[in-house]
Amino acid sequence: MAPLILLLLTFLATTDARSDRAISVSPARLAELSEPLAIVRQVGTSGHRRVRNHLVEFLSRQPGWQVELDTFHAETPIGRQRFDNIIATLRLNDAQSGSSGHRRLVLAAHYDSKLLPGFVGATDSAVPCAVLLRAAETIGRAVARASRLSPPGPGIDILQLVFFDGEEAFKEWTRTDSLYGSRHLAQKWAQDGTAQQIEALVLLDLIGGRNPKFYYNPHPSSDERVIDTEMRMFIQLGATEAAILPDSDEPDSDYFQLMKIGSGTVQDDQLPFQEIGVPTVHLIPQPFPAVWHTPADTLEAIEWDQAADLANIVLFWTAQTIGL
């Protein structure tokens, strides 16, 4: 416990409690970014294509970001489908695309919706995607303004935003009917060496419910190096909460429950990366929001003030981690 507390205090000492307003989001702006995404967007539908195109166009307008599609086809219980992972890359300092030895930080969410009539999935995961869009529109500009980045710790020189396709099952959740995009990208990055460059993948899901609680959930197969990295990242997120949300002075009221372990690994887009040894931080509340996988998962059900709190924790922590 002592090393954990020491790490928390160290990160607090280097964290400015006044978050840079240029790298933050208001509840109103988060709602505005979420609105175009909170439509029926099941894989293969016009709504899915509309959201995909919106994400690509939005990201392409942000300074400094390079946007690419990881397109592939896969068999599903309803036939062969096309999937498009969307990857936005911001190179920090003098990182060159062809060189090796990079350290990457990846923020991720999925953009497809579950195959249910009328289901728009506001928490699952329109709002998480909106958090990533806010990262794109603020951090790129901040990096352009910064004359020099001096990242603490691992020395991150590439920031990536990944919007996974095909997270939801078409029929019943199984290892083969789920996580289509993340399984494909994890395999691709394991083969080309990108996975070995990832310092951590932070996955956001089910953001927007009332009074969410986040716990650290280590994967059973993770080694000591991976667990140490994941714990450090999770503790830093908790320290960021303490720094920018001074009212969270009661441990049980904190979003990030630093002294508790969650109920176990949740099967989500982080899983294929955990299985290849990539450190991951899974930001999914336990228990899930009451509206999970119901028609009530709409923008009207979102607790916007709390969703913006969480977004700002992630945004400010990301800025700190890359040295802004």
Enumerate the active-site residues: 167, 205
The token pair at 150 is 């001096």
Distance between first and last Cα of the chain: 30
State how far the Cα of 42 lies from the Cα of 24, in Å rounded to an integer: 30
Q: Give the pair of three-digit tokens for residue 15.
A: 């964290």
Q: Which residue has the tokens 């928390």?
A: 8
For residues 185 and 194, what is the distance between their CA atoms, to the nearest angstrom? 10
Name the DSSP letter for residue 195: G
Half-sphere exposure of 35 (CA within 13 A, CB side): 6
d(CA 277, CA 38): 33
d(CA 315, CA 250): 23
Cα–chain center distance at 88 = 13
| Cβ 114 vs Cβ 126: under 8 Å | no
Computed from CA positions of residues 116, 118, 123, 127, in that sequence, does the dihedral angle turn out positive or negative?
Answer: positive
Contact between 246 and 17 (Cβ < 8 Å): yes
